Homo-oligomer: A and B are copies of this chain.
Amino acid sequence: MPAERDDAPTSAPAPGSTASLRSANQRRVIRLLQQQTAGEPLTQADIARSTQLAPATVSNIVRDLTAAGMVETVMGSGRRGTTVRISRDAGLVVGIDFGHRHVRVAIGDLTGEVIADEREPIAQDHRYGDGLDRAAAMLDSLLAKLDATREDVLNIGLGLPAPITREDVVMSSAILPGWVGVNARVEAEARLGRPAHIDNDANLGALAEHRHGAGMGHPNMVFVKVSSGVGAGMILDGELFRGSHGTAGEIGHLTIDEQGPFCRCGSRGCLEAYASIGMAATALADQLPNASIDDIVAAAKNGNVSALRMFEDAGLHLGWGLAMLANLIDPSAIVVGGDMARAGDLLLDSIHIGMRRHALASVSSTTLVTRAALGDRASVIGALLLALDRTDLVPAQGLG
């Protein structure tokens, strides 16, 4: 069942009217159910208490939402009585994440719970059309297992490891050359046939870690992805912050040393040159030739002094960059993820030292710096949450 897209033109009722009040109240009940379904099921009395709506109003809303197929009531066993939850048939959302050398697809229900997912390798230099066709095939295969079709998918979230403009165009990226200049939303909607929403992988990682990971309970938090490049996604006052042109969070190109190595961005001495997989491979080219990041982590854990020193120096420089970000943003948590974070404390311990050296004491003492909780699934979960956020189950006139 297709829902209104929040950016679609609608003949909205006048603000302040009874119709807009009704749809706002219906939306509030649905939001509550979406947040709570994973936990204790809610009775109508619970809903009235949490929303402060009158019990009779809640009763009308549940009746209308049930008739519209949005919620279902479940007969209680024992003391709880009848509870209300989002209907399993109300629809699905999808998250797709293109990484350095992989594509992931996840399907979720309308509470954001992942009910199916899959990961496949993909060539780094793939053309965007081939990548989307691959994602479409993976999606269809997963849907078939759930006995569902693309018609059941209300929205798709798509993550890419590149800066994305506000108009959904992929900007210059050394990581996915086959996507540069592409309007990812237009192409994804053409090949997948459903409404799509695009964002940068670090932004989506921030969304996921904020809602379900190491950043829970922190309305101002930053997710830093340290991988082929270094990117940051920022949650400010509880919302993903994208900046004026969609490119906020480019921490990888902070100038650490203006006489440092030239960077592909046109500047010199960028943080990426001191802390990224590329730097690690270059630094260890003689000692550990052709080593993957996991090989390098293993070598460091076995006491290889070159690998240990590389993580130490990378961590000190990351801490410097994070200190500058923290002085400016004053977050309460910074969550470190991406492939390099698999080194764990080998990297985190030095990050803490760098933070303390370079941030104001009042900032470093109040900013939690911790490892990401969702591992390499953060971006695809974030993509699914983006799709969920863009799914408005209640039309402007209200249901019923």
Give the interface of A toward B (CB within 8 A): 14-16, 21, 24-25, 28, 51-54, 57, 163, 171-172, 218-220, 232, 234, 236-237, 239, 241-251, 253-255, 258, 265-267, 320, 323-325, 327-332, 357-363, 366-367
With A21-B16, A258-B320, A258-B357 as known contacts, state yes or no: A328 contacts B236, CB within 8 Å.
no
Closest to A251 in B: B328
Task: List 9 extra interface pairs beyond A14-B52, A16-B25, CB under 8 A.
Answer: A16-B53, A236-B241, A247-B330, A249-B330, A251-B327, A253-B327, A265-B360, A266-B360, A267-B360
Q: Which of B14, B255, B357 contacts A323 (CB 8 A)?
A: B255
**Beta-carbon contact of A232 and B328 below 8 Å:** yes
Cβ contacts under 8 Å, A53 to chain B: 14-16
Q: Which of B16, B52, B328, B358 contacts A255 (CB 8 A)?
A: B358
What's the nearest-Cβ distance from chain B to residue A273, in Å? Answer: 14
Central interface residue in A25, A250, A323, by most chain B CB within 10 Å: A250
**Beta-carbon contact of B14 and A366 below 8 Å:** no
Interface of A is mostly: loop
What are 25 A-B pairs at a CB distance below 8 A?
Answer: A14-B52, A14-B54, A16-B24, A16-B28, A16-B53, A21-B21, A171-B362, A172-B362, A219-B244, A236-B236, A247-B330, A247-B360, A248-B328, A249-B328, A250-B328, A250-B330, A251-B328, A254-B324, A255-B358, A265-B361, A267-B357, A267-B359, A267-B360, A324-B324, A325-B328
Q: Which of B218, B237, B265, B329 contacts A328 (CB 8 A)?
A: B329
Cβ contacts under 8 Å, A242 to chain B: 330
Cβ contacts under 8 Å, A52 to chain B: 14-16
**Beta-carbon contact of A244 and B25 below 8 Å:** no
What's the nearest-Cβ distance from chain B to residue A92, in Å? Answer: 30
With A250-B328, A255-B320, A327-B253 as known contacts, state yes or no: A163 contacts B358, CB within 8 Å.
no
Give Cα distance in the complex from A366 to B163, angstroms.
15
Q: Which of B254, B267, B363 contacts A250 (CB 8 A)?
A: B363
Give Cα distance in the complex from A359 to B258, angstroms.
12
Closest to A171 in B: B362
Give Cα distance in the complex from A219 to B51, angstroms.
31
**Beta-carbon contact of B14 and A330 below 8 Å:** no
**Beta-carbon contact of B245 and A360 below 8 Å:** no
Closest to A324 in B: B254
Closest to A257 in B: B257
Cβ contacts under 8 Å, A328 to chain B: 232, 234, 248-251, 254, 325, 328-329
Give Cα distance in the complex from A266 to B172, angstroms.
39
Give Cα distance in the complex from A15 to B32, angstroms.
15
Cβ contacts under 8 Å, A15 to chain B: 28, 51-53
